[in-house]
Each structure stands twice: as C-alpha cells, then as structure tokens.
Amino acid sequence: MSSPLPDSGPTFYERVGGHETFVILVREFYRGVATDEPLKALYPEADLGPAEVRLRMFLEQYWGGPTTYSEQRGHPRLRMRHAPYKVTPDQRDRWLQHMNAAIDTVSDRLDAMDEHQMRAYMAHAAQAMVNAFED
C-alpha cells in the first residue's frame, strides 16, 4: 500500500548538493569575514572556526538538512542571539557582500530558482539582524 501523501521530492538541501555545498558556502563566507575588520569585530572569538560550524549547521537545518543545530544549541532565535552585538546597516551590507560572494562560489550547484531563493533569504535574514543605526 502506498502512502496517502504525495512525495514532495528532494529538499532544497538535497537539491543543491547537501553537506558539501554548505561546507563550501560557509567556508568561503568566513574567508571574506576574516579580511573585513569591521565585520570581524562582531565576532567575540578570535578563531572563526566555531562560528563557521554554527552557521553551517544552522543553514543546513534551515534548508532541510540535519537538525544538528537545534539538537546542540536549541531553537535558533537569531535576533536574540545577535542582540548583544551592534548590527548596523553597514554591518548588514558587509555581511551580505561576503555571503553573496560565497553564493557565487557554489552557484554551479544551484539552479536559477534555488539561487534566487538563497540570496533572497540571506538578504531578509541580514536585514532582520539590524538592531542599531549608528556606529
């Protein structure tokens, strides 16, 4: 007997190449962050490695992959987690510049709709983190 629910097909995470794609994406993003002193100043740890792991796990979970982020850290609560840091429009723009450059490095794994969806989400999430309008 077949399931009464239709097969919804692969998740976004699966369509774009799964874990490997997100490893590349986040590694490339943090390469950019490491060279951007004003943005890097938002990171309390000198070593960006732990932040890289957290972002990768979050993005994998968000896009339909493993739920490791929530299992290890609980609900994402992005605004709450970023509240201690002064996130200005300039910081948002810097973050998006590096994230969009990172997306460029995996764009060969994304069809046009998936790439648009990823860029749109990143822009929306970056805007949602803004909590200050002056340095």
In a domain, 59, yes or no: yes
**Worst-scoring range by mean pLDDT, 13-17, 23-27, 108-112, 129-133?**
129-133
Give exposure, 32-46, as e/b (b: 16+ Cβ within 10 Å).
bbeeeeebeebeeee
Length of the chain (residues): 135
User: 13 CB contacts (<8 Å, ≥6 apart)?
Assistant: 22, 60, 63, 64, 65
Cα–Cα distance for residue pair 81/64, rounded to 1 Å? 21
CATH number at residue 93: 1.10.490.10
Given a cut of 90, is residue 75 above it in pLDDT?
A: no
Cα–Cα distance for residue pair 8/52, rounded to 1 Å? 30
Show the domain range for 35: 14-129
* pLDDT digit string, tens, across residues 13-40: 999 999 999 999 999 999 999 999 999 9
In a domain, 7, yes or no: no
* pLDDT digit string, tens, across residues 76-104: 566 555 556 688 999 999 999 999 999 99
In a domain, 102, yes or no: yes
Given a cut of 80, is residue 3 above it in pLDDT?
A: no
Nearest CA to 54 among 82, 35, 32?
Answer: 82
In a domain, 5, yes or no: no
Q: What token pair was written down for 43?
A: 């990171």
In a domain, 3, yes or no: no
In a domain, 8, yes or no: no
Q: What token pair was written down for 46?
A: 């000198």
Higher pLDDT, 8 or 24: 24
In a domain, 61, yes or no: yes
Query: What is residue 74's three-state secondary structure?
Result: coil
In a domain, 92, yes or no: yes
* pLDDT digit string, tens, across residues 33-73: 999 999 998 888 889 999 999 999 999 999 999 999 887 67
Tally of domains within the chain: 1
